[in-house]
Structure 1
Amino acid sequence: MIHIQTFLAKSGVYSRRETGRLIEAGRVTANGKVCTFKSEVEESDHILVDGLPLPPPAERVYIAFHKPEGITCTAQTAVEGNLIDYLKWESRIFAIGRLDKASTGLLLLTNDGSIVNPLMKEEAAKEKEYLVRTSRPVSDQMIEKMHEGGLLIKGKEASPAFAEKTGEFTFRIILKQGLNRQIRRMVSACGNRVTDLKRIRISHIHLGSLQPGEWRHLSEDEVSRLKS
């Protein structure tokens, strides 16, 4: 038995967030009964959404994408500059995690809803590496504060992070935490401002030679390690 939300996410048709909305609205049934968030189902159960069976599972897709500046990390086509329109992808895919509109670099995309939540859980968080440029010189004190952690990000404490100065106005940082606009807010809390932010690695997956707007399929080994 598996929870209905997990079952729907595994189908690759809906994102985890969309499955929640469908269940909350009472649009999902199992063997004729309306599902709740506590419902558990079998693979053999008769699952309907809006009275219709789920389409056949789509072939799993796992992509590394070099997000350019100005693209919004959403699959909602009503949002200007969304991922789907930019990539001209015919089937549904969505981002694992986010980069804000002004940031660039490595973004992972998939249609496999079953891996998104496990990857986003804080206790299972993967390392993410960034190159950062600031408007004012990078001070040793700022690097030390990032090492120590404790900077407040919208009421939450930033965890200790590896950071090293790479130039007068640049530094490299590795995070496991994923607070909203975390690096920008950490830098701001230290009296500086981010002018350029680029993610170059998520766990074992590197941006490599991908140019802005380019993408590639992940290898079988990369996908396997991502799920482990």
Structure 2
Amino acid sequence: MSLVRISHYLALCGVASRRQASRLIDSGRVTINQQLATHTERVDSLQNLDICVDGVAVLAPQDKQYWLYHKPIGIDCRLLISDPSSLIHLLPQTPRLYPAGRLDKDSRGLLLLTNDGELTQALMHPDFYHTKTYVVQVDKPLTPAFLTQMAQGVTYQGAQTRPCCIRSLSGFDEGDTFEIVLTQGLNRQIRRMCQALGYKVIDLLRTKLMDVELGCLPENTMRPVSAAELLSLTQLSELTSLS
């Protein structure tokens, strides 16, 4: 069937993930034939359609692209053309890429850039416990109690974080750096977990997204996702769609 919901179609076109596309529709930013789109509308993905986001015509679905980017500190993952620090100014005009997940402006490390809305939806969905690995430096020495509390989950601002894997990278005596593996993506989660336990994050680097590693990719550069990496990610997408 070529008939799909408008949010699904926008994801196929690489505009955003389905969840992000739903927000665009809620905000009245999507039109079909000059009429505001609604969530219940279905469109024919095989036809040329007059669909616009913020008045800009949406191009038909393009070949899927997958890139890894080493985001430096100071780049904002929100794609706001009015913000000179936005990632949008570093991305090619075509195909339209966007990050599958975010790193806050003060953090650095691995980002997956793609126009595959289905894969982005799978990676960002909170119910599927996809792992993300970080190396974190804090402002004072680690203690066993800190590591235990972080691993068990931390309560802050009404949120309770999931249990996670954590290990010191430099011992307890002088060590201030640890590796943490999350299955959650709350806003500024690691920083707020540390703050709730009396620590301040000095440096935060994402090194791994599931089985895909940052490796030696230089800061502020991109590389294509390898065939093996893409296979692992697309298998994830297929499993998620069956769940």
Note if contact 1:66-1:207 (Cα within 8 Å) is conserved in structure 2. Answer: yes
1:43 is aligned to: 45
Within a 5 Å distance, the mapping from 1:7-156 to structure 2 comes to: 7-14=9-16, 16=18, 17-18=20-21, 20-22=23-25, 25=28, 27-29=30-32, 35-44=37-46, 47-50=49-52, 54-85=58-89, 87-91=90-94, 92-149=96-153, 151-156=154-159
Structure 2 CA distance for partners of 1:45 and 1:84, relative to 1, 3 Å = closer
Q: Identity over the aligned pairs, expressed in percent?
A: 33
Note if contact 2:10-2:21 (Cα within 8 Å) is conserved in structure 1. Answer: no
1:176 is aligned to: 183
TM-score by length of 1: 0.88
Which digits, 9 at most, give the CA deviation of each residue in 1:61-110, with x for residues without a partner?
A: 1111111111111222211211132x352322111111111111111111
Amino acid at match of 1:5: S
Note if contact 1:125-1:177 (Cα within 8 Å) is conserved in structure 2. Answer: yes
Q: Which moved more, 1:43-52 or 1:72-81?
A: 43-52
Amino acid at match of 1:112: D
Structure 2 CA distance for partners of 1:198 and 1:34, relative to 1, 3 Å = closer
Say which SS state the counterpart of residue 80 (structure 2) adopts. coil
From 215, 235, 238, the equivalent of 1:208 is: 215
Note if contact 1:74-1:83 (Cα within 8 Å) is conserved in structure 2. Answer: yes
Say what the alpha-carbon RMSD is for the aligned residues: 2.4
Amino acid at match of 1:61: Q
Structure 2 CA distance for partners of 1:176 and 1:14, relative to 1, 3 Å = closer
Say which SS state the counterpart of residue 162 (structure 2) adopts. coil
TM-score by length of 2: 0.83
Note if contact 1:63-1:110 (Cα within 8 Å) is conserved in structure 2. Answer: yes
Unaligned runs of 5+ in 1: none
Within a 5 Å distance, the mapping from 1:152-163 to structure 2 comes to: 152-163=155-166
**Distance in 2 between residues matched to 1:47 and 1:56, nearest whole Å:** 8
Say which SS state the counterpart of residue 123 (structure 1) adopts. helix
From 176, 180, 203, the equivalent of 1:196 is: 203
Deviation at 1:218, TM superposition (A): 0.4
Amino acid at match of 2:157: K
Amino acid at match of 1:206: E
**Distance in 1 between residues matched to 2:29 and 2:86, nearest whole Å:** 28
Which digits, 9 at most, give the CA deviation of each residue in 1:149-185, with x for residues without a partner?
A: 1x12331101001001112111110001111111111
Q: Which moved more, 1:16-25 or 1:115-124?
A: 16-25
**Distance in 2 between residues matched to 1:126 and 1:98, nearest whole Å:** 14
